[in-house]
Structure 1
């Protein structure tokens, strides 16, 4: 059997079911090399359907292969503009380019880098999937004579099989990344696995943290729409980074509020997760201070925040109609965290926690005293966070 036919057959059978992009790309490249194609560096790019990440891919060399991600921000830089990826997508045709005698003033930096590393010839083309999407791939060689026409014919002949193997992986990664983006890591896995259907819920013990911007209503009435969105994005970035750094999950954005949880897997884990949440709150305050310094220097108003922390049982799941679902989080622990956060407006502390949280991290909290909380029959002890030094 022809080696390309054999490769395509492997890709459409074993490769398609492997769910391992590095294995697929490695097999693709090594088979071509064994067939006489002098490959040195191969980049198989895959586009994401995701508002944060625009692409991912696998880079192969004879020494091994590794995967990478590309953000939307990077697409606006010189890494993409003028590159071979831009060329094949804009012109809808492959690019075959010698890496000899390049012009430093005109040729893209990637060509110059490949040439400096011994590259002699370069080929770029794209994979086409059933949904109409296109995904760029590039091939470079160090061979003295470069790529011969038969080499390029072998590459093109093997692309249908590579598309067959990579497309289902790309579709799954896009769907999973969207779920993580909007639901967080834990809930997205449950939804993806089908364990949370309409009307069903998952219950767990967790430290709950609710954060909210102060004076946002007045801010919204005086600032432009662009300034409001930019302020929210900056504030959300501060909170999300701190939560994820401390192994928490952001479950929901509610206007200018953020609901996060730090799941408790065992009874012995409770103290650690309470400290994680307290550390997260300290990091949020420190990052917000840095953000406000930048905003002040830019002539913008500072952002103020209130945070409430509680520990208890929470339930999350999908609710809605047969044709439209929403992911939501419920439970008395969530309600109390929100109401404790509301006390920050009157107590004068930016971060407040319930007694259970403070008991597990006594060195991280002070005790303002007993306070009435809406929905609770009698006053409860509320503790203030020891804030980071300015």
Structure 2
């Protein structure tokens, strides 16, 4: 068995089963070097469906192999526009380029950077996947004579097996990314692990945080569609980043409402998770002040928010019809968090919590007396968060 056939056999057996992109690409490049291809650097780029990321990939050098992500915004920059990846995907053919004698003004910055590091020759080509999608990969050498025709032939001969190993990794990464984007970490893992039947649910203790954008109806009536989406995205960014920074899980967007949880694995974790939620709420208020400062510069009205925090037993799982399911969190703790958020305007404080939260984080809260909460038989004590100054 020659070197390329042996490499191909490994890729479609052990490599495909490994699910490890770093292992796959490292073995691929090392095997090509053993076969006589003078590789110095390789970049295996993978396009995939994700609202937040448009691609990911693996960069290999003799000293290191690591993964990277590409955002949609980056695709509009000079890093992609005019690059070899743009060329091969648009023209559906490989690109072979000598890195010597480049023009710093006309040649893409990536070629000049590689040449400065000692690269002499560059080859970009395509990977073809079973769903019809195209993906790009690039190879660079520092060899005096560059890539010879036999080197490029070996690379091309090995690419189908690289596709065979990388395609399932990309498909899994894409599916997991989509699940996480729309469901959050905990629910997406549950769905991925097989919790997918209607009525199937998991019960756990959690801190529940419900946030809502105040004045959304009025904003919808007066703002342009572009301004409305800009306001919503800014508000969502603030809440999601704050929750995720404190290791919480954003589960649902409900119009302008956001439902988040901080799971409590054991009773010993209750105080810590309550504190995480409270710090997240503080961060939301601080970051919202920054957004409002920027909005004031363009004469846009400030955004305001209400947040309700509670803890208790919740159940998350699948509800819906046999043909259309929703993965959500239900339970009394969720209802109370939502309803005390509704009290924020009448009580006059943007963050309210129940005694279950305030008792574990007393330094953050001020008691605001007993209040009627819709759905509860008796009034409950409500606490407000000490807020930063706008």
TM category (shorter chain) comes to over 0.9
Whole-Å separation in 1 of the counterparts to 2:111 and 2:103: 10
SS at match of 2:287: helix
CA contact (8 A) 1:209 1:309 kept: yes
Q: Which runs of 5+ in 2 are unaligned?
A: none
1:310-341 deviation digits (Å, cap 9, x = unpaired):
00111111122222212222101000000000
What are the equivalent positions in structure 2 for 1:279-294 lying under 5 Å apart? 279-294=279-294
CA contact (8 A) 1:196 1:202 kept: no
Whole-Å separation in 1 of the counterparts to 2:49 and 2:137: 18
Deviation at 1:388, TM superposition (A): 2.5
Whole-Å separation in 2 of the counterparts to 1:60 and 1:127: 17
Which residue of 1 is the match for residue 366 of structure 2? 366
SS at match of 2:39: coil
Deviation at 1:198, TM superposition (A): 1.5
Whole-Å separation in 1 of the counterparts to 2:242 and 2:4: 49
Which residue of 2 is the match for residue 102 of structure 1? 102
Whole-Å separation in 2 of the counterparts to 1:347 and 1:208: 20
SS at match of 1:114: helix
What are the equivalent positions in structure 2 for 1:30-109 lying under 5 Å apart? 30-109=30-109
Matched, 1:348 2:355: no
What are the equivalent positions in structure 2 for 1:143-158 lying under 5 Å apart? 143-158=143-158
Whole-Å separation in 2 of the counterparts to 1:223 and 1:6: 63
CA contact (8 A) 1:183 1:252 kept: yes
What are the equivalent positions in structure 2 for 1:251-290 lying under 5 Å apart? 251-290=251-290
Q: Which runs of 5+ in 1 are unaligned?
A: none
Whole-Å separation in 1 of the counterparts to 2:300 and 2:126: 45
CA contact (8 A) 1:313 1:331 kept: yes
Which residue of 2 is the match for residue 121 of structure 1? 121
SS at match of 1:17: helix
Whole-Å separation in 1 of the counterparts to 2:271 and 2:105: 59
Which residue of 2 is the match for residue 212 of structure 1? 212
Whole-Å separation in 1 of the counterparts to 2:198 and 2:168: 26
1:193-242 deviation digits (Å, cap 9, x = unpaired):
10242111111100000000011001101111111111101100000000
Which residue of 1 is the match for residue 236 of structure 2? 236
SS at match of 2:338: helix
Which residue of 2 is the match for residue 319 of structure 1? 319
Whole-Å separation in 2 of the counterparts to 1:13 and 1:376: 60
Deviation at 1:243, TM superposition (A): 0.1
Q: After the TM superposition, which parts of structure 1 deviate over 4 Å for at least 4 consecutive aligned residues?
A: none
Whole-Å separation in 2 of the counterparts to 1:352 and 1:196: 34
1:113-141 deviation digits (Å, cap 9, x = unpaired):
00011111000011000000111100001
Whole-Å separation in 2 of the counterparts to 1:17 and 1:198: 31
Matched, 1:10 2:39: no
Deviation at 1:103, TM superposition (A): 0.8
CA contact (8 A) 1:369 1:381 kept: yes
What is the TM-score when the length of structure 1 is the normalising length? Answer: 0.99
CA contact (8 A) 1:180 1:188 kept: yes
Whole-Å separation in 2 of the counterparts to 1:32 and 1:9: 13
Deviation at 1:389, TM superposition (A): 4.3
Which residue of 2 is the match for residue 379 of structure 1? 379
Whole-Å separation in 1 of the counterparts to 2:246 and 2:388: 16
Which residue of 2 is the match for residue 188 of structure 1? 188
Whole-Å separation in 1 of the counterparts to 2:323 and 2:266: 37
Whole-Å separation in 2 of the counterparts to 1:389 and 1:245: 22
Question: RMSD across aligned C-alpha pairs, in angstroms?
Answer: 0.8
